[in-house]
Amino acid sequence: MKGIVLAGGSGTRLHPTSLAISKQLIPVYDKPTIYYPLSTLMLAGITDILIISNPDDLPQFERLLGDGSQLGLRITYTAQAHPNGIAESLVLGADHIGDDSVALILGDNVFHGPRFSPMLREISRSLDGCVLFGYQVHDPERYGVGEVDADGKLISIEEKPTRPRSDRAITGLYFYDNNVVDIAKNIQPSARGELEITDVNLRYLADGKATMIDLGRGFTWLDTGTPEALLSASQFVHVLETRQQVYIACLEEIALRMGFIDADACYELGLKLSKSDYGRYVMKLAKNWGAGN
Distance between CA atoms of residues 196 and 177, nearest Å = 18
pLDDT in tens, 48-68: 999 999 999 999 999 999 999
10: pLDDT strictly greater than 80 = no
For residue 152, name the pLDDT band (cuts at 50, 70, 90): confident
293: pLDDT strictly greater than 80 = no
> 103: phi > 0 → left, psi -120 to 50 → alpha, else beta; which?
beta
Alpha-carbon torsion, ordered 261, 263, 269, 272, to 10 deg: -160
Greater confidence, 152 or 63? 63
Phi, psi (deg, nearest 5) at residue 112 = -155, 125
pLDDT in tens, 78-105: 999 988 999 999 999 999 999 999 999 9
Amino acid at 65: L
Q: Count how many Cα atoms sit within 13 Å of the Cα of residue 159 in the half-sphere of its side chain.
A: 11
| Mean pLDDT on 160-174 | 94
Distance between CA atoms of residues 271 and 36, nearest Å = 22
pLDDT in tens, 240-291: 999 999 999 999 999 999 999 999 999 999 999 999 999 999 999 999 999 9
